[in-house]
Structure 1
């Protein structure tokens, strides 16, 4: 009788420990599982170009051999004060162009021009053509100054990431967020992207390497990435608050059974 009770205690403890230490399978947590077998055709690496969209802040600088001729096509730099500087001096700051809700910017000399929806290359070609009617061989430098993406959910460092470049992959965004936790659903990553004024949800399976061939391997500015929690995380959110109570109850049960055998 005593040995049977001891066996029952052992089984209870073993099952409880197994539940606490159970982990997800390899297929649920490993990225790019079929990388060796997938032929990477049609990679987006050389084809991807950012498209300008409403609320983008653009730095556009026009230069030419004739500096005076190019000057009217540039915004006047503004002086910003520095309250931490006891001398009260500030620094020069390049003014930026804001693309409005209809895709337009107010550009010196050219007036109201539409850049929204264009790729960076298209915008450069358009500006070079229009400004070229006034000055010879203009050189245009265009850059998005507020490129950012938001990463939420089961990552170690969720937040909004500001990017200095204009090209960011989904993998890089996840890495900037400290990678996914073991509870993140790698096979069902949600990307919310604005397309033609509509917010469109897209699901990406990061356990399959062919997602690198999709148009969503590279993120657009203002994309939202959400890593959904798996069942283990959802269940733990329910079990977690009661875990200490469960352990106390188990300890009490074991103690009672042990005393009853004496």
Structure 2
């Protein structure tokens, strides 16, 4: 019995042993050139929810362009309240916009869409201002994060470490040099693995996340071993209990 327990303990220690190098992020950061930031505004996708606010010097003229949509909320600017209306991008990549009709928005950035709307609305009012936000920007965190689930962001400028922090960090058992990212772009899915030990991630296209990205932190072999040895642990517990009972009634 003692030999069996000793073998089990030594095996557990062997598989659970991890070094500092296994858990540190950005290990070579002193050798990386960060002179250029690799950020690109995400493109609007099918299923996105956009808030669009149109304003002008004469707010009464702008009101017809802030009606309709899926929901309307008030936003205070100075002493006046402006309307912000949300629009769901349909399966074809369009929204139905008041006064302008059906407009294709998928594949455009917020800046590109704002410029497009300004040009269209300029036919009706002078010098319109258009503000657009993606309000359902979120990413999904799976696997060895301390808090799995959906991370929602008020900003579309969300980097991978912010998302990890919002998930409670990575568990001790997470493989940090091979984190899977699944991304949808232009109706197609692609995937890649990123190494969080390597500071070059900050120059990668995956450093800034895009809406609906899925991150999966794979478990180490010791994590899998932990699950596999649970039946053995239960068996040893039962054996220990029976042994104690026999010893007690001798």
2:178 aligned residue: 188
Match of 2:66 among 70, 74, 88: 74
1:37 aligned residue: 31
For the residues of structure 2 that align with 1:30 and 1:63, how far apart are their CA atoms? 48
Q: Does structure 1 residue 104 correspond to structure 2 residue 94? A: yes
Q: CA deviation at 1:216?
A: 0.7
Match of 1:118 among 89, 108, 114: 108
1:214 aligned residue: 204
**Would the aligned equivalents of 1:76 and 1:94 in 2 still touch at CA under 8 Å?**
no
* Paired residues for 1:1-262 under 5 Å: 16-21=8-13, 22-44=16-38, 47-76=39-68, 95-246=85-236
For the structure 1 residues 118 and 79, does the alpha-carbon distance in structure 2 shift closer, same or farther, using more than 3 Å as the test? Answer: closer
Q: Provide structure 1 residue ranges, at least 5 long, that are not aligned to the other structure.
A: 1-8, 81-92, 254-262
**Would the aligned equivalents of 1:183 and 1:229 in 2 still touch at CA under 8 Å?**
yes
Number of equivalenced pairs? 236
Q: In structure 1, the residue corresponding to 2:29 is in which secondary structure?
A: coil
1:3 aligned residue: none
**Would the aligned equivalents of 1:105 and 1:113 in 2 still touch at CA under 8 Å?**
yes
1:85 aligned residue: none
The TM-score normalised by the length of structure 1 is 0.80
**Would the aligned equivalents of 1:169 and 1:217 in 2 still touch at CA under 8 Å?**
yes
Q: CA deviation at 1:248?
A: 6.0
For the residues of structure 2 that align with 1:36 and 1:148, how far apart are their CA atoms? 31
Residue-by-residue CA offset, 1:34-60 (whole Å, 9 max, x unaligned): 11222224322xx32121111111110
Whichever of the two has the greater Rg, that structure is: 1
RMSD, aligned CA: 3.0
Q: Provide structure 2 residue ranges, at least 5 long, that are not aligned to the other structure.
A: 74-82, 244-250
